[in-house]
Each structure stands twice: as structure tokens, then as C-alpha cells.
Amino acid sequence: MTLQAALPEDPSHPRPASSWRRYAYQVRVNSADPTLLLALLLLAVFGYLILAPVLLLLVDAVTVHFPDIARSGQDLGALTLYYLNRVLMSPISRDLFWWPLAHTAVISVAAIMIAFLVGGPLGWLLSRTDLVGKKWFSTALLLPYMLPSWTFALAWLTLFKNRTTGGVPGWMETLGFTPPDWLAYGAFPIALILALHYAPFVILLFGNALKQFDTQLEDSARSLGARPRDVARRIILPLMMPSLASAATLIFAKCLGDFGVAYVLGVPVGFDVLATSLFRAISTSQAGASAVIAGVIVLLGTLSVIIDMRLMKEAKRFVTIGAKGAMVREAPLGKWQMPAVLWVLTVFLVSAAIPLVALTLTTVMRVPGSFELSNFTLDYWIGTDLGTTALHQGILLTGEFWLALWNTVWMVGLASLGAGLLGLLVGYGVVRSPIRMVSVALRQITFLPYLVPGIAFAAAYLSMFAVARPPLPALYGTHAILVLAILADQMPFASRAGISSMMQLGREPEEAGQIVGAGWFRRMRSIVLPIQRGALVSAILLPFISGIKGLSLVVVLAVPGTDLLTTYAIRLVDYGYSQAANAVVVMLCVVAFAGTMLVQKIGKASLSDGMGSK
């Protein structure tokens, strides 16, 4: 008998065993700690709130629904290709799917190209030159992304609306110029607005990549006789390609699910994209067809994010900052200083300042664009007798506005608070779980809503909770479905904040508390939560800002009694009350902008960190 076999086994240092024995040992050792139970409980909760709706949506695309029993010739719930044929190959498929798909592709490609043309030079000016006032510009140029994209669609309509759709005239028409249809509606304004809204992606990703680029590489190439054009083509551009490609895929994913801009500028003239076609299918109770369209949107969104992840992984091949650091030198603009400042200022005015000013001025004008003193009024804010059917008073005196504001604050606030707390617990469960399979599953499920554009995720929730799904009753038309949908939709951001913060927290503080006899709940309350307070604040406030300005998710799920500011404004647009709708949007912009500034102040960070420094 060997000495090792004769010695008794130390429970704290077991001998190597089979995989099953090691698994059983881990369970036994961690049985006194509820971390595994917490992770499993969270896995079950988010499996129900996130995974189940998406899977059910996909099932709805291939099973017969009650209204289609006769047309499909099959029994209720039977597997069918009827909806796939209807959406992809029927006589109406061109209007229902193929034209919207083509419009989505054209708009996305155009938006990416315009965003690159605008954002690329701006990223270079802010990160690699001595541009005057670039610290201020670094924040100001990100303003379009801080506000809802469809805000600028309403501003565009305010400026360029013509008589094609009736209602109050636009500014240009009032001033004597009638904009053509291609300028007022359709592909051009939609693509331009989306490009300016998402150009900050290019500014941030491309600008920060340039900020980290070692200028010694350029100096070495020039010392070998390379011309500036060759340096840009053979050195700078290849190294910047991952950041540019990542910006392109992110813009595509965002354009894919953007509903508001196309709804305001496309639907009035019959210009549909996938998001508005899906909304139309849901509004007309075409459950199976809407499931197919939503499934396509989910597939395209998933592919774009997977491509982005792959590109970010590939970017590690292009590391240019070593252990000795990198030299970044600002290029002097010299005589080009003033033209550069004028260019940046022009982009800011066109993308943010002019639309917001025009939108605000319209709320105090009876006829938009007429600057006669008698034309100015506060009726749309505090008027008492507007003489309209569905809006008798100014919005500040209208109960529906205050109800929508209250709903926005408490529903989005509750969802954000829940997302923040659950995100921190998810981070704890992912980092501390003794079983890697549970940790990976929890991480992936909470990230799933990021792969699903908002309008498609709303369709999934409608499919899931339009009827009773134990343990919950039917939720459609209630506040609960909006709170749950917003919470689930914001979990990718909240969970990533929780995971990243917990990965920086070692076990030593908890072990110290365990030594003195503190239980798990006491350790969480007295040690983990105080240490992670900053991460918890960010995990709550960031979903709050995103939830306030979001439209694609809630427009499908809200009803008049559960309106938020976003859906209330869209209803006013549908009624043709442009000035009142713009007033609601101005209030929404104030709330969203103030919230963004609060996030940056509390987090002691800025979206523009790493860009301008002067």
C-alpha cells in the first residue's frame, strides 16, 4: 500500500475524481451559500420574461391561429407554412414584406454612408487636431443621440411638410416654397435623419480609435518615403477598419428596429419599412404574419450584432498600444482652423439646434413659419378653448398629458429600478456561480433583448401576454405589461453593468463578513450593495433614460389608458394636432436631456470621454 493510499482523505483537498464526483463535491461545498440557488432562480425568471416570449413568437409563425383556420384549411395550433407563404410568396407579399425589406435596406445603407461622411471627419477633428472648442463640440455633437430619433422627424415635418397629407402647412410652404414630395417624405428625409441621429456612433468609435492610434507609425512610413495618401490607405484605414465596421453594423441594427422616423415621414405617403409593416400587421390582428415579419427582424438584428462581436474580436489583431505606451500628436489646423470650426458648427446646427428651435417655435405659432406678432400664442400650452375635437385645452391643462407624464415617470422608473437591482444580482450570480453552465446561460439570456429590435420584442410580448400565461394573467392593456417589457428590454445594459462591477469585486470582503458570522443576506446588504452603489446607480439611471425616449417597444403595447409621453405624442400626430404633439415632444426632450446630464454627473463620466480635451 502506498503512503498516499494509506493517508486519510482531507475533505478540503479531495483527490481527483470523475466529472460527476467533482460536480457533486461543488454542490455540497456550496450548499451553505445560496448563490447557486439565486442564479437558478434568476435563470427561471428571465427564461420566462425574455426567452419564452421570443420562442413563442417564432412558434406563432408556424402554427395556425383561430382567425385563419378556414383560410389555411388546418386545425387550430397545427404546424403550417401558411404564414410564411402569405408573407413571402402570396400576391400581397410585395406590399407586406418585400417592398418594406427593400426600403429598410436602402435606408440603412444610405444612413450608414451619410453617417460616415459626416461622422468620420468630425471624429478626426475632435480626436487628432487642435480644433478650437472641441471639448464643447464633443458633447454638443452627441446631442442628437441623447434625444428620441423621431423628435427630429417631427421637426423635419414642421419645416418641409407640404399639402400632400393635409393639415397645417410647414414652414417652407408658409414662406412661399412648396417642398417636393421626395424632400418632405419618404426615403431621403428618413435616411438623413437616421444618419444624423446615429452619426455619434461613428464619432465615438472612429474618434476614440484614432485617439489610441500611435502616430509614430505614420512617422515611420513617411520617413521611408510614403506619401500621405499611401499612409492613409495602407496604414491608417486598415487599422481603423474594425471600428468603422462596428459602427456600420450598429447603425444597421438601430435602423432596422427604428419605428418612429418611418412612421412620421413614411406612413403618410405609403412608404413602409419592416418596422412599420410589422406595426400595421399587429394593428390589423394578423398574428401569424406579424410573427413572420418580427422573426425576420430578429434574425437580421441578431446577425448584425454577431458580426459586430466578431469584428470586435478581430480588432484585437490590430493592437497598436504596447507596454511602452503610444504617442498621439495633434495635427495643427493652421489656416483651416476657421473652416473646420464652421463645418462642425454647421453639423451641430443642422442635426440638433435648428430642428429643436423649429420644433419649439411651432408650439407657440398658430400657423407654422409665420413670424407676425399676432400669430404667436400659448394656446397649445395653456389655452382653454382650442375648438378641436380630441384636445380642448393646452397640454399643460390636459389630464391626458399629465397622466402620460406620470405613467412615464413611475412605469419607466419602476422598470429601471427593477432592472438595476436584478442586473446587480445577475452580475453576482454570473460571477459567483459555482456551475459555469448556469453562469453562461444566465449571461446569454439577459443579453438576448439586445439582439431583438424593440418593435419585434414588443410583438413577442404581445404574443406572450395577450392571453393568460401561468402564473400571470392576460396583461395586454395593463400597466404591468409595459413595466415588464421595459424591464426585460433594458436587462442587457443592467446585467452588463452588474457583471462588470462584480468582476472587479474580490471575495475577500464577503469572506471577512462570513468569518464574523454574517449571513448571506447580511453580507449583501452591508458589504456588496454599499461597495457596488455606483454601479447600481448607473444600472438604474441608464435604463431610465433609454426607456423614457423609447417608442418602438411601447407603441405596440400601450393603450389610451396606459399612454406614455412617447405614445401620447404619436396619438396627437395621428389626430393631426401637430403643435400640441410638438409641445409634448419638447417636454419629453427636456426630461430625456436632463436625465442624460444627471447620469453623466452622477457617474462622473461623459459620452464624449476620450474625445476632446480642450
| Three-class secondary structure assignment of 104-116 | HHHHHHHHHHHHH
Among 14-23, 278-287, 403-412, which is the least confidently predicted range?
14-23
- The confidence band for 175, taking pLDDT boundaries of 50, 70 and 90, is confident
**Alpha carbon of 552 to those of 258, 278, 489, 538: distances in Å?**
7, 11, 11, 23
Bridge partner list, 325 = 322
In angstroms, rounded to a whole number, what is the distance separating the alpha carbons of residues 138 and 457?
A: 33
C-alpha closest to that of 423 among 57, 145, 148, 50: 50
Mean per-residue pLDDT for 393-406?
A: 92
322 φ/ψ angles, rounded to the nearest 5 degrees: -100, -165
Q: Does residue 328 sit in helix, strand or coil?
A: coil
Does the pLDDT at position 218 exceed 80?
no
pTM (2 d.p.):
0.83
Amino acid at 47: G
Report the pLDDT value the prediction gives residue 475, as an integer from 0 to 100: 92
* 317: Cβ contacts below 8 Å, ≥ 6 apart: none
Tell me what percent of the chain is helix, strand and coil, each rounded to the nearest 5. 70, 0, 25
In angstroms, rounded to a whole number, what is the distance separating the alpha carbons of residues 513 and 522?
A: 9
Report the pLDDT value the prediction gives residue 321, as an integer from 0 to 100: 44
Does the pLDDT at position 236 exceed 80?
no
In angstroms, rounded to a whole number, what is the distance separating the alpha carbons of residues 597 and 589?
A: 12
SS3 of 61-74: the string is CCECCHHHHHHHCC
Does the pLDDT at position 213 exceed 70?
no
534 is written with which cell numbers?
Answer: 455606483
Mean per-residue pLDDT for 77-82?
A: 92
CA 410 centroid distance within chain: 20
Amino acid at 5: A
Does the pLDDT at position 396 exceed 70?
yes
High-pLDDT (> 70) share of the chain, %: 84
- The confidence band for 98, taking pLDDT boundaries of 50, 70 and 90, is very high
Residue 364 near residue 377 (C-beta atoms within 8 A):
yes
43 is written with which cell numbers?
Answer: 435563470
C-alpha closest to that of 192 among 95, 84, 118, 83: 118
Report the pLDDT value the prediction gives residue 612, as an integer from 0 to 100: 47
High-pLDDT (> 90) share of the chain, %: 35
Q: Does residue 11 sit in helix, strand or coil?
A: coil
Q: Does residue 31 sit in helix, strand or coil?
A: coil
C-alpha closest to that of 493 among 450, 554, 460: 450
Cis bond before residue 471 (omega within 30° of 0): yes
C-alpha closest to that of 261 among 332, 324, 188, 356: 188
C-alpha closest to that of 366 among 388, 349, 351: 388
DSSP letter at 89 equals: T
163 φ/ψ angles, rounded to the nearest 5 degrees: -80, 5
